[in-house]
Structure 1
């Protein structure tokens, strides 16, 4: 007979199976071949950080919030993303489409689990898919400025927001967080993901990442989308989640959006509530199946400590947006 916590774990894993795995993990291999470490492998900081799925997902929300302070990213989303609602003529409405957001989250989870725990070919596969989408995202903002998702400056900003969001969420909400030089190992390892997406001149430590983010301040602004997604008028529990996301931002970014930290006692209390929620879910759900399969894959050792992404910028074949969308649709059946 199942104990209560075992029953809850089975329910949460079943929901993850139905909502995420069967739609977005197709074609990804975590259990084979034996000895293949993938891009990171056992003992890596990335395996430790990404093994806490709930903190990882929260970190991705933190990254998404800060990255859209770049007006170009805001307009990339308005013009190309399934995240935003659209009217009958296909024009973007500055509001989140729940169905589109669910699809975007599913693909994001598959990417960050696939690159962390997948075998080498699986990591390469999900990176190729994301690069193919990036290659199609080009256009012009209403103010006349051009944007291009393959622009090295954009890739550097996007990379820095992602690694900062995940690492900071880990520091705050993982029950056994890496700190100091151990956390810098994560920053140094994760750069492989940035290189796989075409990034260059990427930061490799927490301090470098903070400097990188701050260097973009003259290019940033409080966009309409960011303004609508923050503030005291959001309904509960959305306002509590929004506060926790904004709490992870650097001080200058908080100033940009008009966010003020509460006093230290209240801030600690708020963080404790969020910590309990995130870790309660993680305890109930248990370790991700993909992490357990990857551990089994290398239980008898690896052929090398880790493999490296093979992408050479400029070598991808041209794939149309329509073909990519059909591929996404097929993977979501």
Structure 2
């Protein structure tokens, strides 16, 4: 049961979430994705998988993606990839990055991310393959040189490994902390083992398959990480004595950094509060995320996937078929047209 003082707030948040999702995400980024047919198709994971359980909680999944994006951005190449090749970075009249985030560009990336992680979890096998092809096509075009002279390439195996580790860490940590029925121990490691299929589908190799391995993988990258201009612009609120509000501004900024490994949190000068306040803050976010999910309910795409396999599956989940280097060469315009 949702405590009475939180019901009105939760209903308001759920209604806003549903309207925003329909208007800004589903209508724009779920076009052509099939969750209902063919009957019995288990997709990449199937109904008994840890992935189906973890990704079914939309508010926690969304929060986990925000956590992953923040951690990912500690790689300077990520900053310059975004500045040079995406709409996330705001630019001045001369096209130069300002260090700020373009809200519309960030919304576009968030929408594509949601469709990808929902579609690969619950979509049919063909839907999952299609989404992976689209993301790979975009990655293949992201190549350039940083201002310090170092080259970056979104197909680089080291970058793909870092990118994968930040994503699975963000999603799994948000789930472990804020899902009402979180997987733990060996069951959580089952999620890490299953989710590696997504990393392989995007061309990743030598990927971590447990929580401990993922944490160690992230730590290995410490010598090449930095607080970039874009990251520095987003560290201020946590350092000021600014009043916090639920799900906005400094509170969410704090909550995201609260999920980071200790060494990463220190990089952005994140200071945990005392244990009592820490528990109170996490409880507030837990209530908000779970009340929103309780009132809004599972996504229609999840219910469609459940109905698709209600009479059983037609076989075992199918692993991604991608072989690195097998994709055709496409221009940026051709890659964007695939979305």
Q: TM-score, normalised by structure 1?
A: 0.94
C-alpha distance in structure 1 between counterparts of 2:12 and 2:76, whole Å: 46
Which residue of 151, 167, 170 corresponds with 2:172?
167
Cα contact 1:8–1:285 (8 A) shared by 2: no
Partner of 1:188: 193
Q: Which residue of 2 aligns with 1:249?
A: 260
SS in 2 for 1:94: strand
- Aligned-pair distance for 1:81? 1.5
Match of 2:76 in 1: 71
2:3 match: none
Whether 1:316 aligns to 2:327 is yes
Aligned to 1:331: none
Match of 2:215 among 170, 188, 210: 210
Task: Report the count of equivalent residues.
Answer: 325
- Measure how far apart 1:40 and its partner are: 0.3
In structure 1, the partner of 2:142 is 137
Maintained 8 Å contact 1:8/1:284: no
Cα deviation, residue 133, structure 1: 0.6
1:264-317 CA-to-partner distances (Å, cap 9, x unmatched) read: 111111100111111121112110111100000001111223111011100101
User: What is the 5 A alignment of 1:117-156?
Assistant: 117-156=122-161
Q: Distance in 2 between matches of 1:82 and 1:187?
A: 30
Partner residue of 1:293 out of 304, 307, 311: 304
In the alignment, what sits opposite 2:317?
306
Query: Of the candidates 57, 62, 65, which is equivalent to residue 57 of structure 1?
Result: 62
Query: Per the alignment, in what secondary structure is the counterpart of residue 139 of structure 1?
Result: strand
Structure 1 pair 31–199 and aligned structure 2 pair: CA distance change class (3 A):
same
Q: Does the 8 Å CA contact 2:11/2:292 hold for their aligned counterparts?
A: no
TM-aligned CA deviation for residue 325 of structure 1:
3.3
What do you get for the CA RMSD once the two structures are aligned?
Answer: 1.8
| Cα distance change, pair 135–264 in 1 and its aligned pair in 2 (3 A) | same
1:186-209 C-alpha deviation (Å, 9 max, x unpaired): 000000000000000000000000
Change (3 A) 1:86 1:10: closer
Distance 1:7 1:22 in 2: 22
Contact 1:10 / 1:285 at 8 angstroms: preserved in 2? yes
What secondary structure, in the 3-state scheme, does the structure 1 residue paired with 2:169 have?
A: helix
Contact 1:12 1:284 survives alignment (8 Å): no
CA distance in 1, matches of 2:243, 2:132: 36
Verify: 1:232 aligned to 2:243, yes or no. Answer: no
The yes-or-no answer on 1:258 pairing with 2:264 is no
* Residue number among 273, 277, 283 corresponding to 1:272 in the alignment: 283
Q: In structure 1, how many angstroms separate the alpha carbons of the residues matched to 2:88 and 2:229?
A: 15
Report the Cα offset of residue 9 of structure 1.
6.1
Q: Post-superposition shift, 1:319?
A: 1.0
Contact persistence 1:203–1:209 (CA under 8 A):
yes
Deviations 1:70-124 (A, max 9, x none): 1111111111121111222322221111111111111000000000000000000
* CA–CA separation in structure 1 for the residues paired with 2:309 and 2:234: 43
Distance 2:45 2:35 in 1: 13
Shift of 1:257: 1.4
Could you list the per-position Cα deviations for residues 1-27 of structure 1 after superposition, in whole angstroms to 9, with x for gaps in the alignment? Answer: xxx999986775344222211110001
User: Alpha carbons of 1:9 and 1:265: their partners in 2 closer, same or farther (altered >3 Å)?
Assistant: closer
- Counterpart-to-counterpart distance in 2, 1:137 and 1:225: 18
